[in-house]
Amino acid sequence: MQKMIINRIVRIHILSRATGWRGLSSVSGPRVCVVGGGPAGFYTAQQLLKARQDALVDIYERLPVPFGLVRFGVAPDHPEVKNVINTFTQTAHHERCSFHGNVNVGRDVSVEELRQAYHAVVLSYGAEANRPIGIPGENLSGIFSAKDFVGWYNGIPANKELCPDLSCETAVILGQGNVALDVARILLSPLDTLKTTDITQHALKALAGSGVRRVLIIGRRGPLQIACTIKELRELVNLPNTRAEMLLSDFEGIKETLKDLPRPRKRLTDLLMKAVNGGEDKAEKSWSFRFSRSPVEVLAGADGKRAAGIRLALNKLEGSGENARAVPTDQLEDVDCGLIISSIGYKSILIDPAVPFDPRRSVVPNDMGRVQDTPGLYCSGWVKRGPTGVIATTMNDSFDTARVLLQDMETGELDLSIKKPGAQAISALLQTRGVRTVLFSDWEKINAEEERRGKPHGKPREKLLDVEEMLQIAWS
């Protein structure tokens, strides 16, 4: 049935071209579809458009708003990191690129249908789930994944009702990567710093009434394996009105290893050691790293429903350097706390059964971006490599995938002599299914409205939290 519709659309399209309907000049060039409107999607599109003057690239995004984790993941107090949005906006404005928001690939249209309509499909849909801790008590109230907590203060529509209770004194964060440090910093930042960012208003209000004074950031391994980068650590160290509380014993023997460490690790460890007993002694708020500890159970309070503490197993380290392994001992330690945030990694999911998926690593199996056993299907970003790295990492990765795709076009692996209908066919399909897309110019109306709403608060924008409201403004 779908094939019939596509054939009909192709015939109408060719007929329209013959009668001189003004379409895009490169009707015979490669048509590529990108699934996911975040950094991976945009960087892949950018490279393709630059390398081939005849390529048409369409970006499909589930939400009405583009930019993925640049919008929803980067911390509100890191606005410069979001400057990359200007690059992506330039790409979206390119005459051979079009953005289609409000399209759920896997539900509204299948990957197979996309593959029929395009010469190549690139999966760039990232990692939207989180790794479970896998311990008893994990589902008590008062525990959140960092993904949801960050989504809450960054305006992900699905997280707007999170309502975390911030009345406790001690918060525990599991994980020591940049996301963990972002969460700690947002919990401890002076309100004045946050007031002028694009943090959601409800999060700002909750933080204003927060009782959290102490944040423990817990990692399985030692100081030499900490996963955060130096910029984020430095921000924590320099946080006003806070002090660092670290255990000197955690740093035994570290000083001697410093000189042999590669530069990034050396500078990071140097800073960590300086932070031991650093900060203003009289500061009312504190943060600390606790090393070599793994969570084994979340302990409930008197009512049996809320988290009131966490039980940790002490680990010993086997091996050294980046590959050191944490081996649990039978020593346990209980920590009282009222808020637990698990920041142990995001996770990709399968969006369409026709796409190969590795359930162990939670990525799409691929060789250099070519999806295994599926010609014409590619992937870039976290869904390809796993959920680690900064925007620059994803950029390089996306450029890699684009190059591989271009190579396949040159060598004939991708048969460009077959005419493909591209967006016309998919738009027609979506229409029959009652799905209306959000164009980039529609997003720009949402953007303008968010900026307008932010002004009276002195914020760069007040993010819309409701998909229906986004759509209403987009199509107004």
Binding residues for FAD: 40, 61, 69, 105, 382, 389-391
Give φ, ψ of 469 to 5 degrees: -70, -40
Nearest to 250 by CA among 269, 229, 228, 232: 269
The SS3 of residue 337 is coil
Terminus-to-terminus CA distance in the chain, angstroms?
Answer: 33
112: which 2 tokens?
């197979």
399 belongs to the binding site for another protein (CB under 8 A): yes
DSSP E strand boundaries for 175-306: 214-218, 242-244, 285-290, 293-300
Residue placing its CB nearer to another protein in the complex, 19 or 83: 83
22 belongs to the binding site for another protein (CB under 8 A): no
Q: Name residue 141's beta-bridge partners.
A: 306
Q: Smallest gap, in angstroms, from Cβ of residue 382 to another protein?
A: 17
The region of 75-83, 99-107, 194-202, 329-337 touching another protein under the rule CB under 8 A is: 75-83
190: which 2 tokens?
């002076």
Q: Considering only residues 82-101, where is the footprint of another protein by CB under 8 A?
A: 83-84, 86-87
Among residues 15, 247, 332, 392, the one that binds another protein under rule CB under 8 A: 392
Residue placing its CB nearer to another protein in the complex, 82 or 453: 82
Contact at 8 Å (CB) between 360 and 354? no
223: which 2 tokens?
């100081």
Q: Smallest gap, in angstroms, from Cβ of residue 268 to another protein?
A: 7
Residue placing its CB nearer to another protein in the complex, 67 or 144: 67
Q: Smallest gap, in angstroms, from Cβ of residue 266 to another protein?
A: 9
Q: Considering only residues 231-270, where is the footprint of another protein by CB under 8 A?
A: 231, 234, 263-264, 267-268
The SS3 of residue 298 is strand
CB neighbour class for 434 (10 Å; exposed up to 12, middle 13-18, buried from 19): exposed
The region of 393-401, 421-429, 438-446, 468-476 touching another protein under the rule CB under 8 A is: 393-401
In whole angstroms, give the CA distance from residue 236 to residue 154.
19
Q: Smallest gap, in angstroms, from Cβ of residue 122 to another protein?
A: 15
125: which 2 tokens?
């849909």
Residue the block writes with tokens 């992937």: 379
Q: Smallest gap, in angstroms, from Cβ of residue 38 to another protein?
A: 13
Q: Smallest gap, in angstroms, from Cβ of residue 444 to another protein?
A: 14
410 belongs to the binding site for another protein (CB under 8 A): yes
Contact at 8 Å (CB) between 315 and 274? no
The region of 26-34, 155-163, 186-194, 227-235 touching another protein under the rule CB under 8 A is: 227-235
Binding residues for another protein, per CB under 8 A?
Answer: 78, 80-81, 83-84, 86-87, 229-231, 234, 263-264, 267-268, 368, 390-393, 395-396, 399-400, 403-404, 406-407, 410-411
